[in-house]
Structure 1
Amino acid sequence: MKILIISQYFFPESFKINDIALGLVEKGHEVSVLTGVPNYPQGEFYEGYSFNSKDEIWNGIKIYRSKLLPRKQNGISLFINYISFVIFGWMKVSQITENFDQILVYGLSPVTVGLPAIKASKKFKAPYYFWVQDLWPQSLYSAGGIKNKYIISFFDKITRLIYRKAEKVLVQSKGFKEYILKQDVPAEKIVFYPNTTENFYKKESVSARIEQTMPDGFRIMFAGNLGEAQSLETLINAAEILRNRSIPVKWIFLGDGRNRVQIEKLILEKNLKNEVFLLGSFPATEMPHYFASADALVLSLKKDEIFALTIPSKLQSYLACEKPIIASLNGEGAKVVEKGECGFVSPAEDFQTLAQNIEKLYYLSTAERDEMGKRASDYFNKNFGRDKLLNDLVNLMDK
């Protein structure tokens, strides 16, 4: 098949869709991608890229670069960034001369990535499959803080249009189905299709190079976006409790995001500079090597209906790396950790129970923690294995 992937984010930005594209090529399909100019998460164009960046080839994948305006670090610029991709992406579709059999839309926020797909579907006479990663318009309210009913209503109409035009609506979490049914999408059109993770996410040996950068102590590691949705204050508050209990836990944050400055201030206010370490961003391929130096991996989300419905994509990466998981979240993500029996779960934003769970994990034997990690990788292989999910996607589109 000739497949066009439409995603506002793609290589060299680090998103799971990069590996899906590579996996489809491995399966013998011809893949092209319509995307923007890389600027996530810092909000500025990557070195070597500009507003007028040219199309390129990456690992046999043709990348069509649509112009867009960078997201920068404020709400207005982010909104303009979203709209600019819709406008320029729509125009870019007109410039593409090859034809396609199928179109896959990677539906991270914003949902408006589906608008260029409507035009592409009509032009190429190819169906598109919209892979929902974030629920709209609820994401606007929960993660974006938008409460204006007219804005919410406007984006609800756009979302319904995009879903109505899609051949299938793929959902990364079973919890999404009920919400999308309320947007008048027929049940038979909704397909559960979870995220997998790249092959390089696996158990690794401890690296002497990375060990030199690590603080001594029991290490809890967080990797990913330092944003509003992650409720990082919950982790900092738990760190304070454990420090006061003289439990020698070291919190290591890998990543960057809009809330980094706020977290740095909180660390200073609570005098946690000896307990919490923000090491910055590293290539995704380095993450398993960092995880090897952790005693457990932590993920957290805000207490909100929409976040209870989602499975954070980092969870699959954590599972594959065979480490115990500490989860501070509600709903679908919590169910994965509980069903996999691979860690401890506390309710979203409940920093006291989170601290208790980490203390419980601290007092487990090394053998008990290793067994938790083994159960994590077993659960990943059974439910989220890369090869299985790639085959499922190909079979769905090839019907």
Structure 2
Amino acid sequence: MRNQRKVLIHSIAFSPDGVSTAYLYNDIALAFNQAGYEVIVLTTTPHYNVVKENLAQQPLKRKAFGLYYTSIFNGVKVLHVPQKKFKSTALRLLGFIYWHIVSLILGLAQKNLSAILSPSPPLTIGLINLIIGKMKGARVLYNVQEIYPDFLIEQGGLKSRFIIKLLKWLERFVYNKSDAVTTIDEVFYNTIEGRFIDKSKLHIIPNFVDTSLYKPLSKAELSLDIVDFKPNDNLKLMYAGNIGHAQDWEPLIKTAILLKDDKVDFYIIGEGVMKSYLIDQVKLHNLSKVHILPYQPRELMPQLLAFADLQFIFMSKEMEGHGFPSKVYTIMACAKSLIVCSGEGTPIINFLSKHKCAKLITNQDSNIKTEIIVDYLKSVTKAELEEMGNVGYEAVKTLYSKEVVANQYVSLTNALI
């Protein structure tokens, strides 16, 4: 007889990995724990964004001759299947297969499971959970963070008709065999709703932010390095996150060129495949007011946001319909406004248009887009930006705090079991 409800959280990223999905599911795990569930997490070894400080606080212990590792996160047991960022496609594929096989074994070894919760991507994690759930008599919840295979197809990286057909079949199978599916936004909901036989399985639960960490700070509370973060009266725009293909960097460079002689500074903070391109562009055009800095610890993010006047997110056409940057919530939680470029009807535009805390630019022409950005930066006042930031902050406190949203996962699970 089961004495306690037990939930398995199965995610490709979890603490001590330092990425947004990990932070999100860290808080969801703690919400289940606080609600009286026994929680066990099945994940990988840190390989997305390895933060030495996180590893020191949550050391991994080798088990079964290195077949897997274990750690403890705030009282929650975590099982880690080894993964690395291999450059070789063949090695990445082998690592991916290994993760699935070992995850299945470790999942089936768990006793008295009540429920299994996992985020996409990948789609295959949903299939593994359905097998575990069937064998263990557990309810399966699948959380759609990104829509696959749509994203792979539109990005142009997936062209094989056979693989596309297979992935589309797998997507519908996972959706319809899961006991419940959640997605983060009305746009995502409308996109996948028609793929369900029973649409009542589909629920909207937004992402959220830790308002105890991300909160407004005054300039007097900052302790940033003044060499990297020069205090002056210039308007300061910032992007902090992965510097990759999800962002459209062309309008940023064009804007910086046109505002070369204006009192505007641009800060780009993080790592990623497009960082070298941006560094080259800054040198090529002698953009002395574009500051490209390395990854900063998560705990410093409230200070970084407080330092800047405006955060920018310029979504690439390939990504804008299939992803929602979680940094939107953290920016709003720190009472900061945004300037966002993305197509009409995309998740980020749909979300921010309701909350009036961002300048939204939906024109897809690069030159027109840049012109709108330049005109806005020349005309907007810091007082106006502050007012917009406060509006976003009030919305986060009411609707998107971790206390409010994480408990929606708990409530849905309670209803299922």
Rate the CA distance shift 1:177–1:79 in 2: closer, same or farther, 3 A.
farther
Distance in 1, matches of 2:253 and 2:186, equals: 30
In the alignment, structure 1 residue 162 sits paired with structure 2 residue 169: no
**C-alpha contact (below 8 Å) 1:226/1:257 kept by paired residues:** yes
**C-alpha contact (below 8 Å) 1:128/1:167 kept by paired residues:** yes
Shift of the alpha carbon at 1:143?
4.2
Rate the CA distance shift 1:231–1:112 in 2: closer, same or farther, 3 A.
farther
Rate the CA distance shift 1:362–1:99 in 2: closer, same or farther, 3 A.
farther
**C-alpha contact (below 8 Å) 2:242/2:272 kept by paired residues:** yes
Give 2:353's aligned residue.
338
**C-alpha contact (below 8 Å) 1:170/1:190 kept by paired residues:** yes
Query: Which one of 70, 87, 101 corresponds to residue 87 of structure 1?
Result: 101
AA in 1 matched with 2:71: E
**C-alpha contact (below 8 Å) 1:239/1:355 kept by paired residues:** no
Give 2:335's aligned residue.
322
Rate the CA distance shift 1:256–1:52 in 2: closer, same or farther, 3 A.
farther
Superposed CA deviations along residues 130-185 of structure 1, whole A, max 9, x for unmatched, are 01001010121234622222222222222222212211110111111233234344
Superposed CA deviations along residues 59-104 of structure 1, whole A, max 9, x for unmatched, are 0111011233x1235655554444332233223223x333221111
Distance in 2, matches of 1:248 and 1:355, equals: 17
Rate the CA distance shift 1:348–1:100 in 2: closer, same or farther, 3 A.
farther
Rate the CA distance shift 1:43–1:73 in 2: closer, same or farther, 3 A.
farther
AA in 2 matched with 1:5: I
- Which runs of 5 or more structure 1 residues have no equivalent in the other structure? none
Give 1:105's aligned residue.
118
Give 1:370's aligned residue.
386
Distance in 1, matches of 2:69 and 2:408, equals: 33
Rate the CA distance shift 1:8–1:52 in 2: closer, same or farther, 3 A.
same
Shift of the alpha carbon at 1:348?
6.7
AA in 1 matched with 2:240: A
TM-score by length of 2: 0.85
In the alignment, structure 1 residue 24 sits paired with structure 2 residue 24: no
Give the secondary structure class of the aligned counterpart of 1:372.
helix
In the alignment, structure 1 residue 398 sits paired with structure 2 residue 414: yes
Give 2:47's aligned residue.
39
Shift of the alpha carbon at 1:357?
3.2
Superposed CA deviations along residues 187-223 of structure 1, whole A, max 9, x for unmatched, are 2111011100123111123354315121343211112
Give 1:61's aligned residue.
76
Rate the CA distance shift 1:78–1:202 in 2: closer, same or farther, 3 A.
farther
Distance in 1, matches of 2:94 and 2:273, equals: 17
Give 1:152's aligned residue.
164
Give 2:245's aligned residue.
228
- Which runs of 5 or more structure 2 residues have no equivalent in the other structure? none
Give the secondary structure class of the aligned counterpart of 1:222.
strand
Distance in 2, matches of 1:364 and 1:275, equals: 19
AA in 2 matched with 1:296: L
In the alignment, structure 1 residue 269 sits paired with structure 2 residue 273: no
Shift of the alpha carbon at 1:30?
2.3
Give 1:3's aligned residue.
7
Give the secondary structure class of the aligned counterpart of 1:236.
helix
TM-score by length of 1: 0.89
Give 1:248's aligned residue.
263
Query: Which one of 120, 132, 136 corresponds to residue 124 of structure 1?
Result: 136
AA in 2 matched with 1:85: W
**C-alpha contact (below 8 Å) 2:258/2:374 kept by paired residues:** no
Distance in 1, matches of 2:124 and 2:279, equals: 33
Question: Relative to structure 2, which stretch is displaced further, 134-143 or 309-318?
Answer: 309-318
Rate the CA distance shift 1:185–1:55 in 2: closer, same or farther, 3 A.
farther
Aligned residues: 391
